[in-house]
Amino acid sequence: MQETPLADYVIVGAGSAGCAIAYRLAEAGKSVVVVEFGGTDAGPFIQMPGALSYPMNMKRYDWGYRSEPEPHLGNRQLATPRGKVLGGSSSINGMVYVRGHARDYDTWAEMGAQGWAYADVLPYFKRMESWDHGGHGGDPDWRGKDGPLHVSRGTRTNPLVKAFVEAGAQAGYETTDDYNGEKQEGFGPFDATIHKGERWSAYKAYLKPAIATGKVTLVRGLARRVVMEDGRATGVEVERKGRTEVLRAGQEVILAASSINSPKLLMLSGIGPAAHLKEHGIPVVADRAGVGQNLQDHLELYIQQAATQPVSLFKYWNLFGKALVGAQWLFTRTGVGASNQFESTAFIRSRAGVEYPDIQFHFLPIAVRYDGQAAAEGHGFQAHVGPMRSKSRGAVTLRSSDPADDPKIVFNYMSHPDDWLDFRTCIRLTREIFAQEAFAPYRGHEIQPGAAVQSDDELDAFIREHAESAYHPCGTCRMGAADDPLAVVDPECRVIGVDGLRVADSSIFPQITNGNLNGPSILTGEKAADHILGRSPLPRENAQPWMHPDWQTAQR
C-alpha cells in the first residue's frame, strides 16, 4: 500500500453535495482531496440543456445501475441512473430546481433531524442561490441573490406551457408565482439550474472555483472503503491507475457518494447491519442496522395527449430540426436547446385532509419518453405525474465484498396499497386538467394510457407496466437522533458509532422531499460544511409558508 500526503479532509464523490462541501471547506482555508471515479463533464451533450436525455443514457457519464426485478411492477428492472462524472448527477439530471416544501423539513426535525426544520434550512437555500427570474415574476424575498448556484427560468414562449397553467386555474387549483418561495401549492413556472443557456452543475458552481483556489485536489479513482483504525476513519482506500493506495485525512473523511454508493461504502468499511456484513466476510466496525435501509424514490407516469396543431417540439424531432437547434445553441446559447423544456409545473394535494401537496407535475410540450425515444404519434404534449410521499421502502445491500461489484438495489416500489390509490388519483386528476378549456384548441386523443383505460384494474395494469422512476433515490443513511437505532448519521452528519466520518448527500434524508432532489442535495452539502467546520449554523428564518386555508375540507 502506498501512503499519499495528508489533506485535512477527504471527500468521496464530486456530486451535488460533495462539490458544495469542497467549496466551503476551501473557502475556510482547509486542504481537501476529492475522490471521483467519473471523468470530465466536457462535451455538448452535458452542457446543452435541450440534450438532457443523452447524458443519463451514456455509459461514459452514468454508473448504469438497475434495480432488482421489482415484484409489484411485473418484475421489471428499472433504470437507476447516477452521475459518474464531475458534478455527479447534477451533470446528467433534468436541471429542474425544487427546494422541497417547508413541511418536508419540519417533518425531518420531528423525525429526529434536529436543526433541519424549514427555519433552519431556508438561510442555506438563500446562501447557495443566485436567482434570476428572467422577468417572470417570483418571490425575491425568499430567494438568494449571490450564491454559487445559478437558478433561472425558461422563456415560456410555447403556448402549451401557458395552457397548462391556465388549465390548472380553470380546474379550480391555486396558481403560484414561485413554488420555491412562500407558496409551493399550485400551477406555475419551473426553475432550472441553467445559466446563460448552459447546464449549471454543482461542478461548475462549486468544484471548479474551489479547485482554482489551490486548496482542493481532485483524485480520479474508485473508492474501495474507508480506512478505520480503532473506531476512527483515517483515510480512504482508492484504486487508481491499476494500484491501491490510501489517501489519508488529517481531520475527517466525508462520504458524498450518493444514496446508492454511500451506504455501499459504509458496508464495505464494516459499518452496517452486522449479520449482512458477516454474510460477506466483512469485519464489523459498527453495527448500524439502518445502513442501506429506508430507500425511497419518486415514481411517475407520463400522461400523453395528441396535439391537433403543430405547436409541440415535435417539429424539431428529425435530423434537420435537431441540427438546427444544435447549431443555434452552439453559436448563440439560445433557442430550444437552451431550455430543458420543463417550463411549467404544479404541486397539488390529492384529496382533502392532506396538509400540503403530495402530487407533482412536470409539463412537457412534446410526447416523448425520458430516454429520448420519440413520440410515436407526431405532435403532442405530456405531464409527468406521480405521488410525492410513497409509503413504500426499499434497500441497498451488498452483492459481494468486492468494491467493483454493483450493489443490490430493491426499491420495493408500489408495495404499499396506498400507492395504487394515489397513482389512480394522479391519472384521473391529470385527465381532468387536460380536459379544461385552455387545452381545447390543441387537444387531440389521449395517447397514453388511452381513453379506453378507465377502471381501477385497467389503470393498475397501466401503472404496473409504465410507471418509471423520476430518479430521486434517497434515504439510505438516514439522519436522526444519536440514540435512534435505525439512524445512521446524527444531525451534524456524523456517522453514529465511529469517529472522524460523516455522510452528507441525499442518503441522509429521513423522508423524501417534494419534487426533484438536486436542490436539497446541494443544501445538504452547504449545511454539512458548517457542521464540519464547527461553525454556528446560520440564524434561523421564521418565514411562514403559505398553507391552503381549507386543506382539511377541500382538495383545491
Q: From CA 240, how far away is CA 256, in angstroms rounded?
A: 19
**Which residues on neighbouring strands pair with residue 116, listed in sequence order?**
none
48 annotated as belonging to a binding site for a ligand: no
* CA-to-CA dists, residue 266 to 257, 489, 510, angstroms: 10, 11, 17
Please check if 380 is assigned to a binding site.
no
**CB within 8 A of 213, min separation 6: which ones?**
26, 27
Residue 385 and residue 430 in contact, taking contact as beta carbons nearer than 8 Å: yes
Chain centroid to CA 383: how far?
18
Question: 93 a known binding residue?
Answer: yes
* 133 given a catalytic annotation: no
| Annotated active-site residue in 384, 472, 531, 548 | 472
Q: Are 254 and 477 within 8 A, CB to CB?
A: no
Q: Is 57 annotated as a binding residue?
A: no
Is 516 annotated to bind a ligand? Reply is no
Write phi, then psi, for 405 (nearest 5 degrees). Answer: -80, 140
CB 255 within 8 A of CB 502: yes
DSSP 251: E
Return the SS3 of 70.
strand
User: What is the grid cell recorded at 275?
Assistant: 449479520
Of 341, 286, 214, 305, residue with least CA distance to 498: 286
Which is nearest to 52 in space by CA: 14, 19, 86, 81?
Answer: 81
HSE, side-chain direction, 13 A CA sphere, residue 148: 24
Binding-site positions read 85, 93-96
Catalytically active residues are 472
* Residue numbers belonging to the annotated binding site for FAD: 85, 93-96
